[in-house]
A and B are shown apart, each in its own frame.
Chain A
Amino acid sequence: DAKTTQPNSMESNEEEPVHLPCNHSTISGTDYIHWYRQLPSQGPEYVIHGLTSNVNNRMASLAIAEDRKSSTLILHRATLRDAAVYYCILRDVSGGSNYKLTFGKGTLLTVNP
C-alpha cells in the first residue's frame, strides 16, 4: 500500500483555522485520499475524501496538490471538540469499494481554549 507521512502532533487555538498536512509521494492513479479522525475513546470517524479536485463538506475541506503527492485537511474554525487524532489514508479503489484501510499513527491535534 502506498504510504502517507503526517506530523506526529499539532496545536491550534480555538476558532482559528487548522491546516493538517499529509505527504503521499508514492500515490498511484487509483488511490483516493481519505481522512478519518478519532476522538478519545471513540472509533474512527470519516471526515472527507478526494481524488484530484479540492473537496468541501460540512466538517472540513480537503486541498489536494496538483501532482497529488500531498494534501491538506483544513478545519476552518477549530473547536475543542475537534481535538483528536487525524489519519490521512490512501484507499486503492481498483479492487472495488473495499474499506480495508491502512492507518498510520496520524496527527494528534490539540486545540487550546
Chain B
Amino acid sequence: DTGVSQNPRHKITKRGQNVTFRCDPISEHNRLYWYRQTLGQGPEFLTYFQNEAQLEKSRLLSDRFSAERPKGSFSTLEIQRTEQGDSAMYLCASSLTTGMTGAFFGQGTRLTVV
C-alpha cells in the first residue's frame, strides 16, 4: 500500500493522559498536513510541514498539542493532558510541493477521551 498510513486507527484514553499518533506520508511527498474532524463537521486544518519545517499552525492547535516531522519523513502528533473535547478524528494528508495533484489523506486516527 503506497497511500498515507496512520497509526493507531483507534485510541481510547483517559482524560489527563498523553497520546501520540503517527503518520507515514506518501514517500515522495514533501508536504504533510494534520487535520481534525468532529462528528458532522468537515475537517479543520491544524498544521503543516514542508520537509521537517513546521510552516504553519492553526489557532486550534493549543499548547497541549505538538507535532513533529523529524528528517522530513513520518510525523507525530502528540496531545498532552487530554480533555474530552479532544475526542475527534485526526487526519493526516500529504502532497507534493509542485504540481496540482491534490492532497492525499490517510484513514485517520479516531481518539476517544473518557
Q: Do A and B come from one complex?
A: yes
Q: Closest chain A residue to B33 by CB distance?
A: A99
Tell me, yes or no, whether B84 is within 8 Å of chain A by CB.
Answer: no
Judge whether A43 and B108 touch: CB under 8 Å.
Answer: yes
Looking at chain B's contact residues, the main secondary structure is loop
Tell me, yes or no, whether B45 is within 8 Å of chain A by CB.
Answer: yes
Contact code string B5-18 (vs A, CB < 8 Å = 1, else 0)? 00000000000000
Tell me, yes or no, whether B31 is within 8 Å of chain A by CB.
Answer: yes
Given A43-B91, A100-B56, answer yes or no on A105-B104 (Cβ-Cβ < 8 Å). no
Interface hit among A18-26, A44-52, A72-80: A44-52
Q: Closest chain A residue to B50 by CB distance?
A: A98
Judge whether A42 and B95 touch: CB under 8 Å.
Answer: no
Question: What distance in Å separates the Cβ of A108 from its nearest Cβ neighbour in chain B?
Answer: 10
Contacting residue for B45 out of A85, A87, A97, A101, CB 8 A: A101
Looking at chain A's contact residues, the main secondary structure is loop
Judge whether A32 and B100 touch: CB under 8 Å.
Answer: yes
Bound form: Cα–Cα A106–B43 in Å: 10
The contact size tier of chain B is 20 to 34
Judge whether B100 and A49 touch: CB under 8 Å.
Answer: yes
**Residues in B neighbouring A87, C-beta threshold 8 A:** 42
Question: What distance in Å separates the Cβ of B75 from its nearest Cβ neighbour in chain A?
Answer: 15
Bound form: Cα–Cα A54–B96 in Å: 24
**Residues in B neighbouring A41, C-beta threshold 8 A:** 107
Task: Identify the interface centre among A41, A99, A101, A105: most chain B CB within 10 Å of its CB.
Answer: A99
* A residues 28-61 touching B (CB-CB < 8 Å): 32, 34, 36, 41-46, 49
Given A97-B99, A98-B31, A99-B95, answer yes or no on A45-B105 (Cβ-Cβ < 8 Å). yes
Chain A residues with a Cβ under 8 A of chain B: 32, 34, 36, 41-46, 49, 85, 87, 96-106
